[in-house]
Amino acid sequence: MINIASTNDLYSSYREKMQEIADVKFSSAVLQWDQETYLPEKGAATRGRQIATLSEIAHRLFTDKGLGDLLNELVQRNDIDDRGKRNVVLTLEDYNKNKKYSPSFVREMSEQVNKTFYVWLEARKNNSFAVMQKELSRLVELKREETHILGYQHHPYDALLNEFEKGCTVVLVDKLFDDLKAPLKNLLDKIISKPQVDDAFLHQHFDKNAQWKLGLEVLELMGYDFKAGRQDISEHPFTINFNSKDVRVTTRIDEMDFTSMLWSCIHEGGHALYEQGLPEEEYGLPLGEACSFSIHESQSRLWENCIGRSHEFCGALLPRLKNHFPEQLNRVTDKEFYKAINKVQPSLIRTEADELTYHFHIMIRYELEKGLLDGSLETHDIPAYWNEKYSENLDVTVPDDKQGCLQDIHWSHGSFGYFPTYSLGSFYAVQLFESARTAIQGLADDVSTLSFNRLLIWLQQCVYQHGRYYTSEELCNKYTGRPLDSSYFVEYLSRKYAAIYP
């Protein structure tokens, strides 16, 4: 029957099925957003099963034989445009991967993630990793099982890395970090030997409401569309999308450090601009989705670091900060502010780390996950391993689990293999930003007047509009003229810190 149908009809029917799946997935995303922002305490248990049911239904719909038949027919058709073709090819890949999971495994994973998320909250409250160890163990077991389901050639962790960055392997990431470790370490040693930056003025009391308003103001300046999104408070900042016209961000506020809130707003804002820029008409299809985790991260890092920690941005932002916090900041100069915002200091919390030491945080997590997946580490080893590596790599003493291995939400979400994309994202960010600077004459002037229109148009054209049309590597090649090259990143940091730590 299917063979005699017109390609147009087949494509419409494929699109309809995909949009139905998207409706279910994004409904689940609304439930998750609510869970992390407004859900009353006692509602948690049932919310867990509601999310699990939606996951199971989405999985059922996405592994339906009818969809498979449709895809296998469509992929052979030639009278289909280029973008349509790419949608079909990518969906078929996803379909074949998804078919590997049984519905019961999907439900078990979803329920276990939910449990683990709640014990993580509990563990943080009690400042004790032990509180979550049992549930995390069960989750790691499921992830090990998943590596077998997905299959891998050399290392079980490859199966999970590949989930977040297509084609990514332990061999590749090992090489990347091995190459980077020495130059970063040298740079860090050099910085530590110089006179240190004074950022004491950042650590005063900054009123919660004023911080909240400031965050909204900066998102607005960046071009984030509040008619297609909103900001709320959550335990851990995140961006979540229900379609390109409803992309929400969250933040958290520490009254003793407004920079934590503000640069997290800029970071999430970068993610959100990407999602708001994805083609609306491709809702539910691969071209309506972001390219990859690393390219997503490149968008947040580009804003957070290349823009947000630049001389020009800091200079333009300071007068606005002084409006909100005159008492605390009136005597601060542009230069002092810029230096303080770029202060390098080995520290405990990944999300608050400077651009340099950040990657040591990632390397530690990467090694740890690798060990958990190949069985050379078990969950009960985590705190000791963590603390030892922090001392070894960053020369800091971890005082407790909350400031140590309990700081990230990722494991409680089952996201093993995610962390390396943060480093990849930082490297892509710098390389893409170099291209933007070449393409947009006077971009620095735009930044110093907080005018981001031309940059947004460039990002729309080079990144947002494509969805998953190109892979990370293809996108990078096409718009920077060469493959990912971490020497851009080393060069960028060296230049920056040579000026700050003369």
Instruction: Verify binding: residue 28, a second copy, rule CB under 8 A.
Output: yes
Work out how close the CB of 34 gets to a second copy at its nearest, in angstroms, rounded to a whole number. 6
Positions in 276-295 near a second copy (CB under 8 A): 283
User: 400: which 2 tokens?
Assistant: 């407790």
Q: Does residue number 23 form part of the binding site for a second copy (CB under 8 A)?
A: yes
Nearer Cβ to a second copy (52/139): 52
Largest Cα–Cα separation, the chain = 77
The footprint of a second copy on residues 312-341 (CB under 8 A) is none
Which lies closer to a second copy via its Cβ, residue 53 or residue 448? 53
Q: Counting contacts by CB under 8 A, is residue 433 touching a second copy?
A: no
Q: Is residue 228 a contact point for a second copy (CB under 8 A)? A: yes
Any contact of residue 500 with a second copy (CB under 8 A)?
no
Q: Which is nearer to a second copy, 54 or 362 (CB)?
A: 54
Using alpha carbons, select from 195, 190, 160, 247 the residue that is nearest to residue 421: 160
Residues 72, 51: Cα–Cα separation, whole Å: 30
Kindly state the smallest distance separating residue 41's Cβ from a second copy, in Å. Answer: 5
For the bound state, the minimum distance from the C-beta of residue 37 to a second copy, rounded and expressed in Å, comes to 9
Catalytic residue among 36, 56, 135, 268: 268
Residue 226 touching a second copy (CB under 8 A): yes
Contact 62, 95 (CB under 8 A): yes
Task: Establish how many alpha carbons lie within 13 A of residue 346's alpha carbon, considering only the half-sphere containing its beta carbon.
Answer: 18
The alpha-carbon radius of gyration of the chain (Å, integer) is: 23
Please give the torsion angle defined by the CA atoms of residues 128, 129, 133 and 137, in that order, rounded to the nearest 10 degrees: 170
Q: Which is nearer to a second copy, 19 or 441 (CB)?
A: 19
Nearest approach, Cβ of 263 to a second copy (angstroms)? 24
Q: Would you count residue 243 as binding a second copy (CB under 8 A)?
A: yes
Burial class, 482, CB count within 10 angstroms (exposed 0-12 / middle 13-18 / buried 19+): exposed
- The whole-angstrom separation of Cα 360 and Cα 349 is 11
Q: Residue type at 234?
A: S
Where does residue 74 fall: left (phi above 0), alpha (psi -120 to 50 degrees), or beta otherwise?
Answer: alpha
Strand, coil or helix: what is 257? strand
* Closest approach of a second copy to the CB of residue 30, in Å: 5
Q: How far is the CB of 227 from a second copy (least distance, A)?
A: 5
C-alpha 34/C-alpha 28 separation (Å) is: 10
* Residue 374: Cβ within 10 Å count: 14
Residue 233 interacts with a second copy (CB under 8 A)? no
Q: Are strands 239-243 and 231-233 parallel, antiparallel or unpaired?
A: unpaired
Span from 33-41, 74-82, 159-167, 350-358 in contact with a second copy (CB under 8 A): 33-41
Site size with a second copy, rule: CB under 8 A: 38
151 Ramachandran zone, left/alpha/beta (phi>0; psi -120 to 50) = left
* Listed ranges 29-37, 386-394, 416-424, 428-436: which one lies at the site for a second copy (CB under 8 A): 29-37
Residue (271 or 389) nearer to a second copy, CB: 271
Report the alpha-carbon distance of residue 321 to residue 276 in Å, rounded. 27
133 binds a second copy (CB under 8 A): no
Q: Between 197 and 228, whose beta carbon lies closer to a second copy?
A: 228
The reply to whether 227 sits near a second copy by the rule CB under 8 A is yes
Q: What is the full DSSP assignment across 47-100?
A: HHHHHHHHHHHHHHHHT-HHHHHHHHHHTT-SSS-HHHHHHHHHHHHHHHHHTT
Which position among 245, 380, 437, 454 is part of the footprint of a second copy (CB under 8 A)? 245
Segment holding 251, helix H or strand E: strand 246-251
Q: Which one among 8, 9, 12, 45 touches a second copy, defined by CB under 8 A?
A: 45
Indicate whether 213 belongs to the interface with a second copy (CB under 8 A). Answer: no
Strand partners, 241: 247
Q: Is the distance from CB of 160 to CB of 390 less than 8 angstroms?
A: no
Least CB distance from residue 53 to a second copy, whole Å?
A: 4
Contact between 216 and a second copy (CB under 8 A)? no
C-beta separation of 249 from 269 below 8 A: yes
Query: By C-beta, is 54 or 136 nearer to a second copy?
Result: 54
Residue 46-85 contact track with a second copy, rule CB under 8 A, x = bound = xx-xx-xxx--x----------------------------
Q: Please give the distance of CA 181 from its chain centroid, rounded to a whole number.
A: 22
Q: Which stretch binds a second copy (CB under 8 A): 152-160, 238-246, 355-363, 390-398?
A: 238-246
375: left (phi over 0), alpha (psi -120 to 50) or beta: left
Which range in 30-38, 167-175, 257-265, 413-421 contacts a second copy by CB under 8 A? Answer: 30-38
Q: Is 268 a catalytic residue?
A: yes
List active site positions. 268
Question: Which residues lie near a second copy (CB under 8 A)?
Answer: 19-20, 23-24, 26-28, 30-31, 34, 38-43, 45-47, 49-50, 52-54, 57, 225-230, 232, 242-243, 245-246, 248, 283
